[in-house]
Chains A and B, each alone.
Chain A
Amino acid sequence: MTINGLLKHRESMLALVIVILIGAVGVITPDFLLAKSLLGAFNDTSMLMILAIGQMLVILTRCIDLSVAANLALTGMVVAMINSAMPGVPIPLLIILAMAMGAVLGAINGFFVWKVGVPAIVVTLGTMSIYRGMVFLLSDGAWVNAHQMSASFIDFPRNTLMGLPVMSWIALGVVVLLFFVTRHLRFGRDFYTAGGNPTAAFYTGINVGQVQFKAFVISGMLAGLCGYLWVSRYAVAYVDVASGFELQVVAACVIGGVSIMGGLGTILGCVLGALFLGVINNALPVIGVSPFWQMAISGAVIIIAVIANAKAERAPGRIILRRAVTGAADVNPTTATAVAKS
């Protein structure tokens, strides 16, 4: 089976699991199957989806962005403060501002990875605490509450358009746009090449560091977008907004079959991974499981998902190792690097 076929297979499996999960919850609480509840669950997952897509691009290039949640909190606080100080600023302008600011914060990560050569995990570990702390420095620890925000600021993601909230439309827009970009544009394919085989990418004339930089900028930009969405949706901005969310974002990618080794993963997988976590988070209260179980269950799900994915990925690698002496000629470059790294 080709890698592509395997991935398709994996995605359809994941989709099937999600459907079964929804069905199982529906058996216990039929109300969960109403279009309203399902669309609600989708809407709840919008931000996780958007962030997971950004994270995927970064992971494709063999990096990781742990600063997305802090970036989200910082941009969210900035737009909330602007809104409370100057309610006249139009919302579209605020969104553009949030995305631009997120992109700059992402570019800082990208700069250190590309130009200075610091490993991504170290850079984003650092910027994660820096951005989070800057929220405190900016706000002095104070909250921006609902009554300080303008009505249009809070209502924007809630307005419905053809039966769906704007927030869901934004998520769909990001999904469709990046689906197209990663499949049909050279700009998007570069992420796969740079991460799948950096040496080959270098010899093909791709600047690997620059591609990593671009991935960080996009991830940051999407985090900025979510910054606005988050504070307006929950109508509050404070220091600990989305604290720890970066790990859920990485988990959504991993469940969706994005390889942490880089070069492997699809937008569809990411979306399904996010939806899977979203359905679980939405279903638990519905079927009457104490919210205290939520964390343990998502942890178990992540582990089971990576084990399932690893089994799918491992098979070709193992064969090469055993036949290292005899069958070295038919080594597939992708799996060969996977073995070398393991």
Chain B
Amino acid sequence: MEQVMTRTIPNTLSTPFKRFVFRWETFLLLVTALVFFANTQISPYFLDPWSLSDMTFNFSEKAIIALPMAMLIICREIDLSVASTIALSSVCMGLAAQAGLSIEVICAVGILVGIGCGLFNGFIVTWFNIPSIVVTIGTMSLFRGITYVILGDTVMSDYPSEFAFFGQGYIAWVISFEFTVFLILALVFYVLLHHTNFGRRTYAIGNNPTGALYSGIKVNKHKVVLFTLVGAMSGLAAIFLTSRLGSTRPGIAFAWELQIVTMVVLGGVSILGGSGSILGVVIAVFLMGLVTFGLGLINVPGIVMTVIIGAMLITVISIPAVLAKLRERKGRSV
């Protein structure tokens, strides 16, 4: 799937100011601010703290998965099975709840199932050296399929009442528990990717896997850890989503994987691996949240939103590519 691509290394370093202005994150932030402003014009209810707080519920769960997914994509792998992991994890929590287990156990089950799914993906990808896109298309059917086998066409909804806190609770005023967890995790992943050896290794593998291997990085082990992280966060998202909905259906979180990948790619993470930042992903998460929420305020149906998000994805990704082509053409004529 890798494209024929040449990375040009600039022969002059640009000034710090230029570097800031032309950064992807700056561009995204600008777009986000524009959308925010547009939303305030569209609806008088938008700026209400409660309505802003409602907005965060729509993206927090996906955003939690987008963080480790960004690291995985930087590392040249991808996990399309995240939504199915949520489904499987949610159904196992449902089983635990049916068995009358305590909330702590239910949550532990959710996260452990997620970790199990991630480990499974990671091991198959690294042991057999198979492209992760193929493996996770398979596990996507497998995990979701197991959910269907367990649930059939029934619904599980007998969760203890205190369980609702995770997805519906507020820690203070309008700040939801879910959103707070997302912000904390964003910080954790920021440090992990940008300020630790683990993060540097992720970039190294993404830029040159063979080089990374010969420099002594345990490439396969690293990838398994990343897959497991994605699985664990999917398990966490499953807790929030199940708690918010109060029920488990086999179709839970259907097609989320594509929205999550869209968030990551929109955040400036190269799908070819090797570059991207957590900050970009976080801004992209807010951007997508604002766009969907704003469109919701003016009663645009959900399916039309997907058109707009799809168009946004292609446009936003095309702009730098087109600019680079233009620059190249200009360079050639000189």
Residues of A within 8 A of B (CB): 62-64, 112-113, 116-123, 125-130, 132-134, 136-137, 141, 198-199, 202, 208, 239, 244, 247, 250-251, 254, 260-262, 290, 292-300, 302-303, 306-307, 310-311, 314, 317, 339-342
Contact B1 A302 (CB under 8 A): no
Residue of B with least CB distance to A209: B4
B residues in contact with A199, CB < 8 Å: 4
Contact B141 A302 (CB under 8 A): yes
In the complex, how many residues of chain B place their beta carbon closer than 8 angstroms to a beta carbon of chain A? 53
Quick check: is B318 within 8 A (CB to CB) of the other chain?
yes
Contact A130 B307 (CB under 8 A): yes
Contact B321 A136 (CB under 8 A): no
- Min CB gap A289→B, angstroms: 10
Contact A123 B209 (CB under 8 A): no
Given contacts A125-B313, A247-B137, A260-B133, whether A296 and B145 have CB atoms under 8 Å apart is: yes
Contact A126 B1 (CB under 8 A): no
A residues in contact with B152, CB < 8 Å: 290, 292
Residues of B within 8 A of A (CB): 1-5, 124, 128-131, 133-135, 137-146, 148-149, 151-153, 209-210, 255, 258, 261-262, 265, 271-272, 301, 303-304, 306-307, 309-311, 313-314, 317-318, 321-322, 324-325
A residues in contact with B128, CB < 8 Å: 306-307, 310-311, 314
Which residue in A63, A132, A250, A310 is a CB contact (below 8 Å) of B130?
A310
Contact B306 A129 (CB under 8 A): yes
- Min CB gap A52→B, angstroms: 14
Contact A292 B272 (CB under 8 A): no
- Min CB gap B119→A, angstroms: 14
Contact A299 B4 (CB under 8 A): no
- Min CB gap B185→A, angstroms: 24
Contact B124 A307 (CB under 8 A): yes
Residue of A with least CB distance to B308: A133
Given contacts A136-B303, A293-B149, A300-B142, whether A112 and B1 have CB atoms under 8 Å apart is: no
Which residue in B148, B153, B210, B265 is a CB contact (below 8 Å) of A296?
B148
Q: How far is the CA of A254 from the CA of B153 in the complex (A)?
A: 30
Q: How far is the CA of A8 from the CA of B149 in the complex (A)?
A: 36
Query: A-B pairs with the 10 shortest C-beta distances?
Result: A296-B145, A299-B142, A299-B141, A133-B307, A295-B145, A302-B138, A129-B310, A129-B306, A126-B314, A303-B138
Contact B310 A128 (CB under 8 A): yes
Contact B1 A292 (CB under 8 A): no
Residue of B with least CB distance to A240: B303
Contact B129 A127 (CB under 8 A): no
Contact B310 A130 (CB under 8 A): yes
B residues in contact with A310, CB < 8 Å: 128-130
A-B contact count (CB 8 A): 173
Contact B313 A126 (CB under 8 A): yes
A residues in contact with B258, CB < 8 Å: 125, 128-129
Given contacts A112-B318, A116-B322, A296-B148, 13 further A-B contacts (CB under 8 A): A118-B314, A126-B313, A126-B314, A129-B309, A130-B310, A133-B306, A251-B138, A260-B1, A296-B144, A299-B142, A306-B134, A310-B130, A342-B209
Contact A296 B142 (CB under 8 A): yes
Contact A306 B135 (CB under 8 A): yes
A residues in contact with B1, CB < 8 Å: 62-64, 119-121, 260-262
Contact B131 A260 (CB under 8 A): yes
- Min CB gap B148→A, angstroms: 4
A residues in contact with B141, CB < 8 Å: 247, 251, 295-296, 298-299, 302
Contact A118 B318 (CB under 8 A): yes
Contact B131 A299 (CB under 8 A): no
- Min CB gap B211→A, angstroms: 10
Q: How far is the CA of A251 from the CA of B138 in the complex (A)?
A: 8
B residues in contact with A239, CB < 8 Å: 303
Most chain-B Cβ atoms within 10 A of its Cβ — which of A290, A296, A300? A296
Contact A117 B2 (CB under 8 A): no
- Min CB gap B263→A, angstroms: 12
Residue of A with least CB distance to B3: A119
Residue of B with least CB distance to A134: B307
- Min CB gap A112→B, angstroms: 6
Q: How far is the CA of A92 from the CA of B232 in the complex (A)?
A: 53
Residue of B with least CB distance to A135: B303
A residues in contact with B272, CB < 8 Å: 119
Residue of B with least CB distance to A298: B141
Contact B139 A133 (CB under 8 A): no
- Min CB gap A141→B, angstroms: 8
Q: How far is the CA of A5 from the CA of B306 in the complex (A)?
A: 45
Q: How far is the CA of A317 from the CA of B133 in the complex (A)?
A: 20
B residues in contact with A127, CB < 8 Å: 310, 314
Q: How far is the CA of A239 from the CA of B302 in the complex (A)?
A: 12
Q: How far is the CA of A224 from the CA of B55 in the complex (A)?
A: 38
B residues in contact with A118, CB < 8 Å: 314, 317-318, 321
Residue of B with least CB distance to A317: B129
Q: How far is the CA of A298 from the CA of B137 in the complex (A)?
A: 10
Which residue in B131, B255, B301 is a CB contact (below 8 Å) of A136?
B301
Q: How far is the CA of A203 from the CA of B251 in the complex (A)?
A: 49
Residue of A with least CB distance to B312: A126
Most chain-A Cβ atoms within 10 A of its Cβ — which of B3, B271, B306, B313? B3
Given contacts A134-B307, A136-B303, A208-B4, whether A123 and B138 have CB atoms under 8 Å apart is: no
Q: How far is the CA of A113 from the CA of B262 in the complex (A)?
A: 17
Which residue in B145, B265, B311 is a CB contact (below 8 Å) of A294?
B145
